[in-house]
Structure 1
Amino acid sequence: MSAIGVIGGTGVYDPSIFENIHEESLMTPYGEIDYVQGTYHGKTVIFVARHGKDHTIPPHKINYRANIWGLKKLGVTFIISTTAVGSLNENFKPGHFVLTDQFLDFTKNRITTFYEGGDRPVAHLDVTNPYCPELRDILQKVGAEQGLTIHNGGTYVCTEGPRFETPAEIKMFHMLGGDTVGMTNVPEVNLANEAEMAYATISMITNYAAGISESALTHGEVVEMMGDMAAQLKALILGAIDAIDVDARYDAHNRMQEYGGFKL
């Protein structure tokens, strides 16, 4: 049976909401990952803490390839990822949720593909729809039923981090059409697509970005807002897990068909 993957922080994962919990590790060609596997209403769910168990891995050092390869090896066909973001759009307010549909990549030093030649030939990923529309629609419907303020669509600007952005950078990103800004969604989204998994991101808006906010941003403020939104986020994820048909197959599951499909 296909599994559902959840990628997020420690604030997302709550052992009490799953059954048959066990923690495991898996060695991949790109390094080892730790994960938690359980069930929810009969569906297998695998959780990966993007920043590590104790949030010790900064955005630019996350082993994105190991995480995605590992989830694929474990049978995951659907991924719900979570991110905390700043807003560049006055209509996207702190406390709102955004289901990203496009991204702008301003990362600098990250490996963004599995297809580097050699054993895995060069390939060119189509990212017209990098975030699975069908999965986003499920999340939108569940969020609306739960009374959340949830925007289905928005452009995520991914920066290298770990520093926050300057007001000048935020101004540029806004001019380019960015709606939210964060540090972790790229290359994760690209790798998930190469691995032919349906991938969607739930972004929690924790603050307005630099130059838009009236005061300087602190990490503590971000963490506080994440805590305030944690219960809503968990309910949204669980509702989506219930609503996902694990036997469904979308375009995302055949994205690399031109290259013979993704092989482990």
Structure 2
Amino acid sequence: MTEQSGKSPVGIIGGTGLTSLSDLRITGEESVTTAWGEPSSSLLRGQLGDQPVVFLSRHGNPHRIPPHQVNYRANIQALHDAGARVVVGVNAVGGIHGDMGPAHIVVPDQLIDYTWGRESTFFEGDLAEVTHIDFTWPYDQEAREVLIESARLAGVPFSAFGVYGATQGPRLETAAEIRRMERDGCDIVGMTGMPEAVLAAERGLRYVSLGLVVNWAAGKTDHIITMAEIEEAIAQGMSGVKQILEGSMEKLGRLSPTP
């Protein structure tokens, strides 16, 4: 399904606060279901300039679904069925790299999956054949370049690289786990990067992550992580996330579908 303008909508997965983008006109809300069950929330459609967009709240509205219980398959399928061929996953993450502190924005280029037990593929069950997808580069490079250009034009401090370490949650990590992840090469840590990215790849979507660092990872400071500091970092960094999204939607919408 596509918008009346003839353009495919750009899908955005994140929190409900993202729908306060400037110049965004909300055009409708749809409760949908998929062959993989119910997505986390209804789909909220809108128009940002000439570009249609469709939002999905990853943790539900209100925020109630923990990361390990998100129905990632239904979420990706719902956006695919809604006509999206480019998807931006906005992720709250912890900073491991020394330059990636609270309120910093990261456009990651790689990831390492530490999750377990999640429904992580569409290719299972009664299959006609086994399917293996290439996942060498988990994030679409053309979509990354659009976000990077938008961040530069907006003057938003950001990093144009980063290895995202995806953990199971819902608990935060131990200091020892973060030390191991740092040895593995991780720059940021979060709980929602997988299997969202691989499911998007299986459905042929251009998928890119926009990470907002909301705290230093465990052991990177001498104090425990609190919700107060996370909320403060979100308040400080969300304006930059919105500026990047606002400046990139039209160009993301012009990207051709993957072959």
Q: TM-score range by the shorter chain?
A: over 0.9
Give 2:11's aligned amino acid.
G
Give the equivalent residue in structure 2 for 1:70: 78
Q: How far is 1:2 from its partner?
A: 1.4
Q: How far is 1:245 from its partner?
A: 4.3
- 8 Å Cα contact 2:140/2:207 also seen in 1: yes
- 8 Å Cα contact 1:3/1:246 also seen in 2: no
Give the equivalent residue in structure 2 for 1:21: 27
> Which of 45, 50, 61 in structure 1 is aligned with 2:69?
61
Give the equivalent residue in structure 1 for 2:3: none
Q: How far is 1:15 from its partner?
A: 6.9
Give 1:81's aligned amino acid.
G
Equivalents in 1 of 2:212, 2:234: separation in Å? 7
2:149 matched to 1:124?
A: no
> Which of 180, 187, 195 in structure 1 is aligned with 2:188?
180
> Which of 18, 40, 53 in structure 2 is aligned with 1:12?
18
Give the equivalent residue in structure 1 for 2:227: 219
The worse-fitting range, judged by mean Cα deviation, of 13-22 and 47-56 is: 13-22
- 1:1-264 to structure 2, matched below 5 A, reads 1-14=7-20, 17-33=23-39, 34-119=42-127, 121-246=129-254, 248-249=256-257, 253-254=258-259
Q: How big is each residue's C-alpha offset from its partner over 1:108-157, in whole Å with a ceiling of 9 and x where there is no partner? A: 11011000141464211211111001111111011011111121111000
Equivalents in 2 of 1:231, 1:25: separation in Å? 28
Give 2:94's aligned amino acid.
G
Equivalents in 2 of 1:94, 1:161: separation in Å? 20
Q: How big is each residue's C-alpha offset from its partner over 1:214-260, in whole Å with a ceiling of 9 and x where there is no partner? A: 210012321221122122211111111032243524xxx13xxxxxx
More strand by share: 1
Equivalents in 1 of 2:56, 2:30: separation in Å? 10
Q: How big is each residue's C-alpha offset from its partner over 1:56-91, in whole Å with a ceiling of 9 and x where there is no partner? A: 000000010000001001100101110111111102
Give 2:210's aligned amino acid.
I
SS at match of 2:17: coil
Q: How far is 1:7 from its partner?
A: 0.3
Equivalents in 1 of 2:248, 2:128: separation in Å? 34
- 8 Å Cα contact 1:9/1:49 also seen in 2: yes
- 8 Å Cα contact 1:115/1:121 also seen in 2: no
Equivalents in 1 of 2:228, 2:190: separation in Å? 16
SS at match of 1:12: helix
Give the alignment's Cα RMSD to 1 decimal. Answer: 1.5
Equivalents in 1 of 2:209, 2:245: separation in Å? 11
Equivalents in 2 of 1:16, 1:22: separation in Å? 17
Q: How far is 1:17 from its partner?
A: 3.8
Change (3 A) 1:92 1:120: farther
Q: How far is 1:24 from its partner?
A: 1.1
